[in-house]
Amino acid sequence: MHQTADQPSIVILTGAGISKESGLDTFRCADGIWNKVSLEDVATPEGFARDPDMVHGFYNARRAQLADPTLSPNAAHEALARLEREWPGEVLVVTQNIDDLHERGGSKNVLHMHGELKKVRCEGCRAVAVWDGDLGRDSACPTCGVAGAMRPHVVWFGEMPLGMERIYAALEDCALFLSVGTSGNVYPAAGFVHHVLETSGGRTVELNLEPSQGATLFAEQHYGPATEVVPAFVD
Ligand code: BV8
């Protein structure tokens, strides 16, 4: 569908809940990742400096899970891709997730504000590269060749999320802000609904398994598994 600039736009914020029914863990549910490993140890620059092998191991295990051929996008990812194809205006998926299930579900306009599991970054030349398999403390940069300076291309706590200028511009212009599968614990993402209310005044809708931290800020809420509530909302 050809998107025309003057048509109303949609911004969709997604979190780990949208990938849960594809078999990927969330962070703060009872069986969540942060109940198994401390985020200070594996999702901060300090943790990486303290024990790079532990952090590489944490992301290598998640990258291997993503490469599992039985893992696939679910009806919620596919419904958002359908919305992008059928909506005349721009549809931007801003995801906190580092998996690639939105792209594999057919979404084209995706912004990974917390980075991507399948990409790595060289702390020497700053180049970002696609990476399959394990990354280690001695891995060499595919761009500059220097070994020992590679890290996951992932935003850790205390680091600036990616694409913030583009995200705020989209929020200030959107007719609909849809939040899917996020607990609303992590900033700046958790503050996006507030930004919409203060700027574009767009329609705000939360689709989640249960009320998020910011639930009362949304004009509409629909609760249930993403594979049910997202297609129901989109279609
Ligand atoms: C920054 C790494 C500034 C990749 C992640 C006090 C106040 C305000 C802010 C702060 C503060 N103290 C510290 C901060 C800043 C901090 C923050 O917000 N901390 C929190 C804990 C208070 N934020 C940051 O540090 C961010 N950076 O602020 O930079 C700055 C300024 C200038 C210069 C430099 C820096 C960076 C945050 C990014 C951290 N990285 N991940 C990875 O390993 O994955 S965040 C981590 O949490 C995850 O990646 C995820 O993206 C994120 C959010 O989690 P959710 O996606 O919401 O997942 P969660 O499990 O919480 O919830 C799942 C939801 O799904 C639940 O509601 C559940 O009910 C629902 N669900 C479950 N099943 C289903 C379902 N829904 C539908 N269907 C289902 N089947």
pLDDT in tens, 148-166: 999 999 999 999 999 999 9
- Rounded Cα gap, residues 155 and 111, in angstroms: 13
pLDDT of residue 4: 63
* 48 membership: H or E segment, kind and range: helix 45-50
Most ligand 1 atoms within 8 A of CB, residue of 34, 54, 155, 187 to mutate: 187
Cα 42 from Cα 82, distance rounded (Å) = 35
171 within 8 A of 196, measured Cβ to Cβ: yes
Assess whether 195 carries a catalytic annotation: no
**16-73 pLDDT tens trace:** 999 999 999 999 888 899 889 999 999 999 999 999 999 999 999 999 999 999 999 9
Q: Cβ contacts of residue 224 below 8 Å, gap of 6+?
A: 209
Low-confidence winner among 4-13, 151-160, 197-206, 222-231 (lowest mean pLDDT): 4-13
Domains and CATH numbers, the chain: 1-24+73-114+161-235 (3.40.50.1220), 31-70+115-154 (3.30.1600.10)
6-33 in b/e form (b: 16+ CB < 10 A) is eeebbbbbbbbbbbbbbebbbbebeeeb
Angle between helices 226-234 and 75-86 (to 10 degrees): 20
Its pTM surpasses 0.90: yes
Cα separation, 74 vs 88, in Å, equals 24
Calpha distance 68→50 (Å, rounded): 30
> Does the CB atom of residue 98 touch ligand 1 within 6 A?
yes
Residues 121, 127 contacting (CB under 8 angstroms): yes
Cβ–ligand 1 contact at 152 (below 6 Å): no
**Closest ligand 1 atom to the C-alpha of 184?**
57
What is residue 50's predicted lDDT score, i.e. its pLDDT? Answer: 98
Pairing of strands 203-208, 220-223: parallel
What spacing in Å lies between the alpha carbon of 143 and ligand 1's midpoint? 31
Query: Is the separation of the CB atoms in 187 and 212 below 8 Å?
Result: no
Ligand 1 pocket, 185 CB below 6 A? Answer: yes
